[in-house]
Amino acid sequence: MNIILFGPPGAGKGTQSQYLVKKTKGFQISTGDMLRDEIKKETEIGKKIINDMNEGRFVSDEIVNQLIRDIIFDESKKNKLIFDGYPRSISQAKNLEFLLNESNQNIDFVFFLNVNKETIINRIEKRKVLENRSDDDLKTIIKRYDTYMETTKPVLDFYSKYLNFHEINGALEIDEITRKIDTFINV
Ligand code: AMP
């Protein structure tokens, strides 16, 4: 089963994808984590993306598309993919469709954790303290939220035509969101 989780930063995508990883014995593909890792390891990619990441801008499609390619073709992860934070633009969605086609896979479920700006700001402020994330000052949070909603809206329109697209109220408690996701997934 391949699943895409959508939602602005702070909507709880990460938490729900970790739950789905356990439930479906899947693999989380968090492009945010992968990109932060590149910065931490000071790779060539890391050096290219550090400014965009710190200022809340999207990293180029080219870099992100390149990062996920190998995972999709990894036989041991086939049909066990939980996408957290990818795709985020139409170009990424088309790239994903192409790669899945090439590797004989489909998207089985798309969940959109929808949540307003105020709730997000409160949550990220708390997470900033817990996780000590450098890109999380308030200005960046707002920028990231706006960028996400602006750029991801066309992607949502693209996926909302899928039979298995479900919008979930991301302002609910974590457990309640998990329960809602559970009602759609039977494994
Ligand atoms: P996240 O951890 O998913 O909230 O992502 C943190 C930051 O990483 C974002 O604000 C973007 O700068 C970058 N990022 C993560 N995923 C993507 C993506 N699919 N496309 C472009 N930039 C991304």
Q: What is the mean pLDDT of residues 82-105?
A: 95
Q: For residue 41, how far is its CA from the centre of ligand 1 (angstroms)? A: 17
Atom of ligand 1 nearest to the CA of 9: 4
**Per-residue confidence band for 133, with pLDDT thresholds at 50, 70 and 90:** low
| CB 3, CB 24: distance < 8 Å | yes
| Rounded distance between C-alpha atoms, residue 55 and residue 143, angstroms | 8
Over residues 14-36, mean pLDDT: 95
β partners of residue 109 = 3
pLDDT of 156 strictly over 70:
yes
**9: exposed, middle or buried (Cβ count in 10 Å: 0-12, 13-18, 19+):** buried
104 falls within a domain: yes
Residue 4 has pLDDT above 70, yes or no: yes
Query: Across residues 7-14, what is the average pLDDT?
Result: 87
Parallel, antiparallel or unpaired: strands 165-169 and 27-30: unpaired
Which ligand 1 atom minimizes the distance to the CA of 60? 21
**pLDDT single digits (tens) 47-82:** 999 999 988 889 999 999 999 999 999 999 999 999
| pLDDT of 158 strictly over 60 | yes
List the domain range (segments joined by +) for residue 32: 3-178
Give the span between the Cα atoms of 89 and 144, in whole angstroms: 14
Look at residue 131 in the predicted model and tell me its pLDDT.
Answer: 74
101 belongs to a structural domain: yes
Decide if 186 is inside a domain. Answer: no
pLDDT over 80 (residue 102):
yes
Ligand 1 center from residue 24 Cα (angstroms): 24
Residue 134's pLDDT is what? Answer: 63
User: How many residues are given for the chain?
Assistant: 187
Nearest residue to 73 (alpha-carbon basis) of 108, 93, 101: 101
Residue 103: inside a domain: yes
Residue 187 maps to a domain: no
Say if 185 falls within a structural domain. Answer: no
Q: Give the domain CATH number at 106.
A: 3.40.50.300
Q: Any idea which of 80-94, 103-117, 126-140, 151-165 has the lowest mean pLDDT?
A: 126-140
| Domain count of the fold of the chain | 1
CB atoms within 10 A of CB 115: 21
Which residue owns the Cα nearest ligand 1 atom 11?
58
Q: What's the token pair of residue 29?
A: 């593909």
For residue 60, report the distance from its CA to the centre of ligand 1, in Å.
10
Please tell me whether residue 28 adopts helix, strand or coil conformation.
strand
Ligand 1 atom having least distance to the Cα of 13: 3
Which protein residue's CA is at the shortest distance from atom 1 of ligand 1?
A: 32
**Pocket residues: Cβ below 6 A from ligand 1:** 9, 31-32, 35, 52-53, 56-59, 64, 85-86, 88, 92, 144
User: How high is the pLDDT of residue 138?
Assistant: 75
The answer to whether residue 50 sits within a structural domain is yes
Residue 53 lies in a domain: yes
pTM: 0.90
Q: What is the pLDDT of residues 110-128, one digit of tens each?
A: 999 999 999 888 877 777 7
